[in-house]
A = this chain, B = another copy of it.
Amino acid sequence: MNIAVAQSGGPTCAINASLVGVYKEALKTPQIDAVFGSINGIEGIINDELVDLKLIIKTNEDMELLRQTPSTVLGSCRYKLPDVDEQSDTYKKILNCFEKHRIEAFFYIGGNDSMDTVAKLSDYFREHDVHIKVVGIPKTIDNDLPVTDHTPGFGSAAKYVAATVQEIIRDSSVYSIESVTIVEIMGRHAGWLAASTCVLRANDEIAPHLIYLPECKFTSEGFLEDVRKQQAKHKAVIIVVSEGMQIEDTKSLRDDSVDVFGHQQLSGIGKTLENLVRENIGCKVRSIELNVMQRCSSHICSKTDIDESEQIGSSAVKAALSGETGKVMVFRRISDIPYVVKIDSVDAHETANKEKFFPKEWITDDQNDVKEKAIRYFLPLIQGEVKIAMKNGMPVHFKLK
């Protein structure tokens, strides 16, 4: 038998590690002949664009380099599989591709949408009595997938963000004048990544002084009061805000400017809060977006995350071989200290198209910070450093030739 694997959604530092996990486990499994990589997610299956992984991953060194290379070596897509009654053609193309290449198990590494694909595809196969296994391997820096304790890719993003916010704290504290620095962190609906900056307190940082999440109740008046209170204590106030945070009066506060071409410019929440501070407090204020660096800065990835991401890929292969299908692999946390997780599988419908939010009970009563419990949750996920391969003073990335 052969198997196939694809990568989907936004990049993280750990998607390639999960691919390596699938590939390594397949190499150890005598009944698996070839592992095909699908180019650009499920699109590669639909369009029959596959690559035999043994042609691109040739050595153990390739394997290690790929493990520590960010983004998706096979490309990605933002493709949502249509319902079968709407477009059964697509399902037939997928089935054709699998049959043509004798693919008996398919592994999809991705976020919410990909877990939806896993659910739909496995339902279709079951209904048509096709014995191809479909198993999902989660990934997202947003950490917003239900059931699983955390998602592969999140720990590395959190480690980068913690290190970077700590450096921004140092950078912001040099002058003798009052200042406010606002760091905007990814997370469209869930505030996990912004919240994770609380780990800095385990290393004796007081900052970030304020943390705002989409899950917080927020008013601009309350925000300005929060800032003023912090200014009474700290010359340089550091604020972390999740990009998805909503202001009650968003429309009037967001930057409604148009550019020279008449296009509306939608400022991020960081810029909006910057404007708010400038207008109402008038001190030096700066907003910083960590942008795509949050999801691709593998030079400071979390060893725990990369190792776990490989393991969950490998577990997916074992699950499929033991007959499971329509499942998504998840982490279950057994304990924080010592940190113990086990890998399990759940029905893909339980995770598809659903989001897991930061727990309201971990937010302080003032709605501007997170509680101690959150630190205990986040800390294990950022532990350990991967020995990064360097050449000419720069990290070496695995690249398709």
Contact = CB atoms under 8 A, between A and B. Distances in A.
Given A78-B175, A166-B394, A170-B296, A252 B260 contact: yes
Nearest to A396: B203
Contacts of A391: 203
Interface stretch (A51-59, A117-125, A326-334, A379-387): A379-387
Contacts of A167: 70-71, 293, 296-299
A200 interface: yes
A254 B261 CA distance: 10
Interface in A158-172: 159, 162-164, 166-168, 170-172
A299 B300 contact: yes
Contacts of A279: 261, 263
Copies of this polypeptide in the complex: 2
A289 B290 CA distance: 9
Interface residues of A, number: 75
- Counting from the closest, the 9 A-B pairs by CB-CB distance are A257-B257, A71-B170, A382-B393, A76-B174, A171-B296, A167-B296, A383-B393, A202-B392, A255-B259
Contact of A275 (B173, B261, B392): B261
A131 interface: no
A397 interface: yes
Interface of A: 11, 40, 43, 69-72, 75-78, 159, 162-164, 166-168, 170-176, 199-200, 202-204, 252-261, 263, 265, 267, 275, 278-279, 286, 288-293, 295-300, 302, 304, 379, 382-385, 390-397, 399
Nearest to A39: B176
A67 to B, nearest CB: 14
A88 to B, nearest CB: 24
Contacts of A265: 255, 257, 265
A275 B259 contact: yes
A74 to B, nearest CB: 9
Contacts of A176: 40, 43, 75, 77
A175 B40 contact: yes
5 contacts: A75-B173, A75-B174, A164-B297, A254-B260, A302-B393
